[in-house]
Amino acid sequence: MKMRTPLAWFNLTHKRQRLLTALAGVSFAVVLMFIFKGFENALYDSQVQLLKALNGDIVMVNRIKTSMFVPEKFARRRLYQAEAFEGVDAAYPLYTTTADWKNPDTKKIRPLRVLAFNLNDPVLPIPEILAKRSALQMPRTAIVDSKSRSEVGSLAIGTVTEVAKQAVRLVGTFSLGTDFTSGNGNVVMSDQNFIRYFSNLGPDDDERNLNTVDIGLLKVAPGADVGTLVQTLTQRLPIDILIYSKEDFVNKELNYWKENTNIGFIFSLLTVMSFLVGVIIVYQILYTDVAEHWAEYATLKAMGYSNFFLLKVVIQQAVFMGLLGFLPGFLISFGLYRVTADATGLLMQMTPPRVFNTLVATVIMCLISGAIAVRKVQSTDPAEVFGT
């Protein structure tokens, strides 16, 4: 079967200069959409990167801990109670608190989030932490997040500085990243060191011991259903705690930030504006092309081609533009994501669904432009070609 003459393709690629301008226009809109969407996602993604890194199928928190921002704890015996249920393999407590950190270089004090757990529990299975387990068992040692803000100071192994006004020795760094509740960064230590630092504070401070837990993690036996287990535990355990599957817990935290901040609105507005800019650019290019060829299109009509055929030609041209312009836009954005991530420490993630969504948005953008530009062709009267 022979192919119809691909008129749309030839019209699009005939003039190199115009094709390049067209693709640059589409790419520009694609880059804008990627960047704004990227910032939005980065702000959301970084809120849950710690939660995603935690090793547990079910998460237990205090009933009034509506977000990671709320420093409410629950009794550790709830974890032991949960561990007794069939299907629960293990239960790990995670202790968190905010502590003052002295920058070893400038000696300035900055708040930091402390994460503490029993080093024998695989709570935060990050390779750098696992490798330093024996060093972390020494009294008054800690490992610091290398993605902490620069205000934390130098993080070389062996550096001695202060946490909660007490000396601490750094045994290495790991890579996690900051969020709205982490202050200037994260520091991980053993639960034994956690008591050393935070059980004997002054009368004004919130003293800690290992009887109250910030986040409880449950490992589920292979084959056990997480959903039913969450239901059973919720029904059978006291109501001072809430129990989530890990996925629900991550989504709850995301929704908290989505519903309580303007991040979504602001960046959605910017993304929509980029989309509209793209529609206008593509429309301009398509309209110029259609207007230049109106006599040829009118001749096609006189030859017996229907309006529908011409509509298809213009729409095809629009879709080709979208697809061709998307590729360079995507590659540029990919590079910009890296640059932005390195410069700001934001978690700029280019995931396949996000790439796909932007691709769909780009094609829709070009379809809208095509639909507006095609009206010029539709209204062309072949009778007007005579006598010109």
The residues binding other proteins (CB under 8 A) are 1-2, 4-5, 7, 10-11, 13-14, 293, 295-296, 298-306, 381-383, 385-388
Question: What would the DSSP string read from start to end of 224-263?
Answer: --HHHHHHHHHHHS-TTEEEEEHHHHHHHHHHHHHHHSSH
Q: How far is the CB of 386 from other proteins (least distance, A)?
A: 5
Q: Pick the closer one to other proteins by CB: 72 or 384.
A: 384
Q: How far is the CB of 307 from other proteins (least distance, A)?
A: 9
Helix (H) or strand (E) holding 53: helix 16-53
Q: Pick the closer one to other proteins by CB: 167 or 295.
A: 295
Q: How far is the CB of 68 from other proteins (least distance, A)?
A: 59
Residue 97, beta-bridge partner list? 114
* Residues 176/127, Cβ–Cβ less than 8 Å: no
DSSP state of 183: B
Q: Pick the closer one to other proteins by CB: 224 or 319.
A: 319
Q: Pick the closer one to other proteins by CB: 262 or 388.
A: 388
Alpha carbons 41 and 43: distance in angstroms, whole number = 5
Q: Pick the closer one to other proteins by CB: 19 or 88.
A: 19
Q: How far is the CB of 48 from other proteins (least distance, A)?
A: 51
- The phi, psi pair for 61, rounded to 5°, reads -140, 165
Extended strands (E) in 128-214 = 141-145, 160-163, 166-174, 186-190, 212-213
Q: Pick the closer one to other proteins by CB: 17 or 388.
A: 388
Q: How far is the CB of 32 from other proteins (least distance, A)?
A: 30
∠ Cα 384 385 388 (to 5°): 100
Q: How far is the CB of 369 from other proteins (least distance, A)?
A: 20
